[in-house]
Structure formats: C-alpha cells, structure tokens
Structure 1
Amino acid sequence: MAQREPIHAGTGEPVLLLHPFLCSQNVWNTVADDLAATGRFEVYAPTMLGHHGGRPSPSWLLHTAMLVDDIEQRMDELGWQTAHIVGNSLGGWAAFELERRGRARTLTAIAPAGGWPHHSLSKYETVLKFVLGGPALIAARLVGPRILTWPFVRRLATLPVSGPADGPPEAELRALVEDATHCRAYLQLLVKTLHLPGLLELAGLGAPTQLVLCEKDRVFPTPRGNRYFLQHLPDSAEVVRLPGVGHIPMLEAPDQISALIADFIDRHSDSRADPGQATG
C-alpha cells in the first residue's frame, strides 16, 4: 500500500497523536476530528515507520529511536518545536522519548508500552502475547478482513484491543485487521523489545504528564502491566483510570478520550506554550 497522508486538521495548540504497535493513524480518526472541531487544536497524527501506510523502515534493525527520529522530522517539517504529545501503547513509549528530547509541552500516555527494565517478566510476557498471535495474523493476511465472519474469530480479534465483548465498530475492526496484517515492523519491533531495555529515567520528566490506565487492558493488565510506571513516574504525574475500556480506548470511548486530552491540554497550555512559535 502507498504511504498515507497523515491526519492534519484544525488550528490552535499543536497536538501530536501516536498510534499503537500493529496499528496506524486510523485509530485516531474520531478523536482527531473531535479535537480539531473545537477550534482550539491543530491535530497531527502520522503512521509510524514500518506500519501499514507509513514510511518504510531505513533498516531491518528498527528500534524506538528510529521511530522517534522520524516523528521529530515530521514535527520539524510542520514548524513544531514542541507539541502536546498523546501516545497509546507503542505510541506512548515514543511519546516519553520525545519528551526526553524536549519536544513535549504536555504528555498523555494511554496504556503505554516500555514499562519494564532490561529484564522483566512483564516484557517477556508482552512479547510472548504478540508471538502467539502470529499464526492468527498469518491466517488473517491470507483470508483478509472477511475472517471476522468466521465463528469465534471476532471475539478473538477484539480481546487485545477492547473491553466490551462486541469490540469496536465493524469498519474500525476491519481496518485494524488490515493494518495488523500488513505491518512490516512486526518482527523488527518484537526483536527490538527483547534485546533493549524499556523506558528509563522516568522520574526526570519535565513536561506535565498524565498516565491513562485502562481497566480491561489485556495487553498490559493491571497491576503488573503498569506497576513500573506507577513506581517510577514523578509524583507530579497525574494517573487517570478508565473503567470498562480496553487497550485502545479511542475506538470504544472516543468522546471520553477526546475530553480527557482536551481538558489536560487546556489546564497546561498557557504555561507550556512557546511564544511566537509557528504551529502549522
């Protein structure tokens, strides 16, 4: 598939939205529209390196720094020195790394990945979950999204992403399957996760930060899946717990996620804005 044009809409405070592993910018469609419609935010959501519709990886040894380099380049092209950065799962990991590079006005991490030291049961458990899902991805690649009509397949497909059994709307679930089965970075990022540590030096965060935890998250289940963040984030970080939603809450509760992001930015935008900075 050809590269997608990133979602880019609205005017106002710059907001960067980063998607999860195996997904694309499509998971942000509704939230991006909601934020742009307020008239207060300029929203930008790209598809990351190696993912379906994103730029190709410059190397087989793809790692987080390369993802972040690409996102920084995109920010530079927009004239954004900083932005309010929102990331889900892998996008949350990238968001923390962007904050470390001084690119974040605020940081919203939704069920972020990277919450482990170099060697931890949580890391190996996460990699194992994705490895065990490999045969299902191969089957879905061969059959296509119509595999969701097979008995029990829809429920298996919604388990990793959704809290409720019925999962996200049909069109969005089909888009997820299409993105996951065409993600060129699948093996690259799993290998990277195995041989590199997760997020370090979290206590040194300078930007206002909120950690969003999802009650029905089956990728990073509570408590073991987010204990590392709760132990290492600075005391100033806010923790928001969302009941009833799964790992990608933008698909099942977009209004709630849009409001959560907008409220946090509104509370911190005046103190973090760069005077005279171009935002588009």
Structure 2
Amino acid sequence: MSDSLMAMELAFERRGSGEPLILIHGIGHHWQAWLPVLDRLAAERTVIAVDLPGFGRSPGLPDGTPYTAESLADAVESFCALLGVRDPHVAGNSLGGYLALELASRGTVRTATALSPAGFWSRPELLYCQWVLRAMRASARSMPPEQAAKAAENPVGRALSAGLLVAHPARLTPTALVAATQALGEASGFDETLESFSNVMPPAPPKSPITIAWGEHDRLLLRRQAVRAARWSGQRVKLLKGCGHVPMSDDPELVARVLLEGSGG
C-alpha cells in the first residue's frame, strides 16, 4: 500500500455502538445508499458508511494511482487504519460487495457480507453491465437538477430512473433518488473504475467468514451469477426475496437482518 493511500481521508457517516461494521457502496453511488438500513444496524453495531475515493464527497485517488478493485480495497484498509478501527466487519453492495470479499481474501476483516457482488459475470454479462451503467451515467450527467427533481416526484419517472437497480422504485424517496442521480453524475472515479471491471475476476479464497446474498430481481448483475458465487465460496448464497440489485430500499428489514447475521449477530 502506498504512503499516499495510507494517509487518505474519506467522507463517512458513523452511527451506533458495538462492534464496528464498515459499509461500502457500489459504483456511482455514495454512503447514503445505506440510509434505509443505517439505524437498524446502528442499534447493534458501530456502523461506518464510507464514500469510496472519487465517489460521493470523498476526494479522488492520488495522481498516478489507478482506479482498480485492489486500489479501492487498499483505500478502505487505510481508512480503517486512520480511524483506528481494527478487524472490522465489512459489508458491501455490487462493487462494494466485491471489495468486501477482497478484504476477506486478505484476512484483514473479521467477517464480510456481499450483496450482489461484482466479479462473477460472464463476458457478455460484464459488457451488459458496463453498457447499462454508462447509459445511466450519461443520463445523470445530461439531466438538469430541476428535471431530475421533477422526474423523482413522478412514479413513472422513478421507475425509469431506478427500475434497473431496485425492484420497488416507489419505495425510494424523491430526495434519495435526486441525491443518487447527482452522485452518479458527479463521481470523478466512475469512468476509470468501470473500465477496470474488464479485469475483475473473483478474489482469492477468503480467509475470513463470508456471507453472499443476491437480489431475487437483480436486473444489473443477473441472478444466475449467484450460482458462480456459490461455487467460488463453497456455500449457499442467500436469496433476497422481492429485492433488486441495490436492495436496501426494497426491504430494509431483510437486508439489515442479513448484515447483522453475517457479522455475527
């Protein structure tokens, strides 16, 4: 890990008390993705939801440091060290799920829970994922704030904006959808990170206990990828019934329960 990454500060939200649980969002998102489950988790854990470098309110990676799964995992490790958090539980969604598994393969976390993690795709599934995310990014960058707000207030607009990521767009608040659209459009690390997906393979075997769960109605990383994740992990993948790719708003109670169980609750 480079000295610049070891000193890196990231934006985050901390709540609750108990054993530390680090929450890592997916590509183009921000820590607020976890808001639907944050207080449920904080009742039993010290929850720290972080913005990855180049996403949300966190600065980008230092010049010369490529955006890869490895460098982003390094940044999360350095962030924990900077906060004095040792051997935390970690949970992530999508890219964040892959990073959680990567940290488990390093043995630097107590447990890892991954919700629809990246990296278990076939080549056509990877290309589909990249195409969808590029299209969503282009839409977010081209949409004026007032238009985004108007679309978020309309059920049809919410479905068009978020229907590929969540199973129940109506459960997203307009405020959350507008903020997520803005985060996607402004993420300085998005393009390079998305390109790096082409080189992402399943991580090395985990050295820490892991849990993998998958949205029943995941339309971005299709549910059949869970079969490969199960083969890789050697254990059954939990099915998040009624949930999409970003399941936190679809069923906060179910997701919180899976995360607490995965972190020894």
Per the normalisation by structure 2, the TM-score is: 0.87
- 1:143–1:36 Cα change, 3 Å: same
Alignment pair present for 1:162 and 2:160: no
Please state how far the C-alpha of 1:150 moved relative to its aligned partner. Answer: 7.1
**Paired residues for 1:221-232 under 5 Å:** 221-223=222-224, 225-232=225-232
Please state how far the C-alpha of 1:265 moved relative to its aligned partner. Answer: 2.3
Alignment pair present for 1:242 and 2:245: no
Asked if the contact 1:172/1:251 (under 8 Å) is kept, the reply is no
Residue in 1 that maps onto 2:140? 137
Asked if the contact 1:116/1:199 (under 8 Å) is kept, the reply is no
Asked if the contact 2:25/2:33 (under 8 Å) is kept, the reply is yes
Q: Greater shift after overlay, 258-267 or 100-109?
A: 258-267
- 1:144–1:199 Cα change, 3 Å: farther
Letter in 1 for 2:251: A
How many residues are paired up? 255
Residue in 2 that maps onto 1:273? none
Alignment pair present for 1:219 and 2:217: no
Please state how far the C-alpha of 1:143 moved relative to its aligned partner. Answer: 5.2
Q: Give, in whole Å, the separation in 1 of the partners of 2:264 and 2:104.
A: 18
Q: Give, in whole Å, the separation in 1 of the partners of 2:144 and 2:106.
A: 37
Output one character per residue of 1:83-111: Cα deviation in whole Å (capped at 9) or x when no partner.
11101001001111111221121111001
Q: What secondary structure is seen at the aligned counterpart in 2 of 1:266?
A: coil
Q: Greater shift after overlay, 127-136 or 252-261?
A: 127-136
- 1:6–1:135 Cα change, 3 Å: closer
Asked if the contact 1:158/1:167 (under 8 Å) is kept, the reply is no
Alignment pair present for 1:23 and 2:29: yes
Q: Give, in whole Å, the separation in 1 of the partners of 2:162 and 2:131.
A: 18
**Paired residues for 1:74-153 under 5 Å:** 74-116=79-121, 120-140=123-143, 145-148=148-151, 152-153=156-157
Q: Give, in whole Å, the separation in 1 of the partners of 2:16 and 2:193.
A: 32
| Alignment equivalent of 2:191, drawn from 157, 166, 187 | 187
Q: Greater shift after overlay, 127-136 or 239-248?
A: 127-136
- 1:86–1:22 Cα change, 3 Å: same
Alignment pair present for 1:72 and 2:77: yes
Structure 2 gaps, min length 5: 1-8
**Paired residues for 1:236-275 under 5 Å:** 237-267=235-265
Q: Give, in whole Å, the separation in 1 of the partners of 2:57 and 2:137.
A: 20
Identity of aligned residues (%): 23
Q: Give, in whole Å, the separation in 2 of the partners of 1:142 and 1:254.
A: 28
Q: Which runs of 4+ in 1 moved over 6 A?
A: none
Q: Give, in whole Å, the separation in 2 of the partners of 1:91 and 1:132.
A: 20
Please state how far the C-alpha of 1:165 moved relative to its aligned partner. Answer: 4.7
Q: Give, in whole Å, the separation in 1 of the partners of 2:160 and 2:73.
A: 31
Alignment pair present for 1:10 and 2:13: no
Q: Give, in whole Å, the separation in 2 of the partners of 1:42 and 1:122.
A: 36
Asked if the contact 1:109/1:210 (under 8 Å) is kept, the reply is yes
Aligned-residue CA RMSD (Å): 2.2
- 1:206–1:141 Cα change, 3 Å: farther
